[in-house]
Structure 1
Amino acid sequence: MPEIIDLSQEIYTGMPVYKGLPEVNITIHASHEQWSGIENPETLTPSVNKLEMGEHTGSHVDAINHMGAEHKDKSIDTMPLSMFYTEGICLDLSEKQPQELIEINDLVNARDKHQLEIKKGDTVLIYTDHYRRHFNTEHWIKGPGLSAEATIWLGEQGIPAFGVETMAPGVSGVSNKDVHRICGEMGFTHYENLINLHELIGRGRFRFIGLPLKIRGGTGSPVRAVAVFD
């Protein structure tokens, strides 16, 4: 039996979201008591919930059209599913501190430490342990992130995507805009807010699955990201 490791955050009312993005609110739209015609029930058992949230909520993937106006036709529903169903590796960058840049030599050293190879078509996950250390604290938004140069280097490896535990792929206010711009120009993307990456370190290659919802014109989508070991 394959081992499936869940890499996805739980989605719940009031969860942390990136600054300026829609807050998450989940309410009962209809209850079983309502459907059964029970008047003035003491409790409500949800039969249908209403979800209010942005596309970039929790563990999610960005569409290319999120990267800039010039990519307006490259919405999430137009991106090939092969971008979200790949082989993958996970690099250990857990020594990085909040708001510290991840450079090319950091990626190379992490790759070589566990004798990994970045193959064309891989999804490259970047473990910083920021989630376990700082989720839902004042430091959560201050994650380490890729530099512009490191992003270009990853794109040159021919990958469809990389993934991070943090709320942004770059350092917010330092490199994050450049990381997004470069992804758009080079035609690859990234996942944000992944979890459990520590469970992948030292284990080699795996199957990565992070399928988005088919949102017409969408700029991104929540995903149920998983790593599968056969």
Structure 2
Amino acid sequence: MKLIDLSVPLSPGIREPLPAKIDYASHEDGAQQAAAILGLKPEDFPESRAWATETVTLNTHSGTHIDAPWHYWPTSEGQPSRTIDELPLEWFYSDGVLLDFSAKLPGYEITTDDLIAELRRIGYILKPFDIVLIRCDADKRLYNDHYAFLHAGVSAEATRWLLNQGIKVVGTDGWGWDIPLNLQAESYKQNPRDDVLWAAHFVGKDYEYCQIEKLANLDQIPRPFGFKVSCFPVKVEKASGGWARPVAIFED
């Protein structure tokens, strides 16, 4: 069996709108903490050392994570939108399909025709519950100052097409599923209209589905299908998303 890590680290070094903050406590700090809790002195511990810990402050959409339907809108398919802890686990372990759009420039909006052409190129027909991964190689620019604006996005029309094939989980190695937010804003300012701002996300009003965002290492997947994806989200109560460590699994 071969496993490929498809996640980025939680790191304060990633320049994104929702950055992580990590406070590191050393073994010496741990001795101070433990002594205060247990009524001891730090020097009571071997070499005045105890546990090392970290305190992490982050948004549920920091790092590699999965968006729940609640993230998109209060309702989905006419019912209250489900949060990340309410979704069926079966969605997050299934056959993976890799669609390669790494040749597209940042800001490109992937269309339905693009998806169909790529599926035809790799010789694959989607089936319900496949996990569709969009490669644009934005993870190679993870520590760039403008990382959040350096991916190709998927159009609302193309998103609907995928979901109409029975897909429940899609993923991208970009910061977000739509085209970059700055391009959405520029387009709206020039011509205010519907279906511009967060258009693909808002497809979740009519279709219940999940997005994996900020994937990595999709270029390391050796073939476009014939592998499993495991991407179980952390169970955050009543949350709009949950952190995940997706893995591509290849059987020998």
Q: TM-score, normalised by structure 1?
A: 0.88
Residues 15, 146 of structure 2: 8 Å contact kept:
no
Q: Which residue of 2 aligns with 1:56?
A: 61
Counterpart of 1:136 (choices 132, 143, 152) is 143
Residues 15, 148 of structure 2: 8 Å contact kept:
no
1:222 is aligned to 2:243: yes
Tell me by how many angstroms 1:112 deviates: 1.5
Q: Which residue of 2 aligns with 1:172?
A: 180
Tell me by how many angstroms 1:144 deviates: 1.0
Residues 68, 184 of structure 1: 8 Å contact kept:
yes
CA distance in 2, matches of 1:16, 1:161: 26
Change (3 A) 1:97 1:176: farther
CA distance in 2, matches of 1:44, 1:98: 48
Tell me by how many angstroms 1:201 deviates: 4.9
Residues 77, 215 of structure 1: 8 Å contact kept:
yes
The AA in structure 2 aligned to 1:75 is T
Provide the secondary structure at the position in 2 that maps to 1:178: coil
Q: Which residue of 2 aligns with 1:26?
A: 22
Tell me by how many angstroms 1:198 deviates: 0.8
Change (3 A) 1:203 1:70: closer
CA distance in 2, matches of 1:44, 1:93: 50
CA distance in 2, matches of 1:147, 1:55: 24
1:111 is aligned to 2:111: no
Residues 121, 159 of structure 1: 8 Å contact kept:
yes
The AA in structure 2 aligned to 1:66 is H
Counterpart of 1:195 (choices 204, 207, 216) is 216
1:145 is aligned to 2:153: yes
Higher Cα Rg, which structure: 2
Residues 155, 183 of structure 1: 8 Å contact kept:
no
The AA in structure 1 aligned to 2:42 is I
**Can you list the C-alpha shifts for 1:70-90, whole angstroms capped at 9, x where unaligned?**
355511011111111111110
Q: TM-score, normalised by structure 2?
A: 0.81
**Can you list the C-alpha shifts for 1:112-151, whole angstroms capped at 9, x where unaligned?**
212122111100001112221x222244222210011111
1:84 is aligned to 2:92: yes
Change (3 A) 1:151 1:176: farther
Identity among equivalent pairs (%)? 28
Give the helix-richer structure, 1 or 2.
2
Q: Which moved more, 1:209-218 or 1:8-17?
A: 8-17
Residues 98, 139 of structure 1: 8 Å contact kept:
no
Q: Note the aligned Cα RMSD (angstroms).
A: 2.3
CA distance in 1, matches of 2:58, 2:238: 16
* 4+ aligned runs moved over 6 Å, structure 1: 42-45
Paired residues in the alignment total: 224
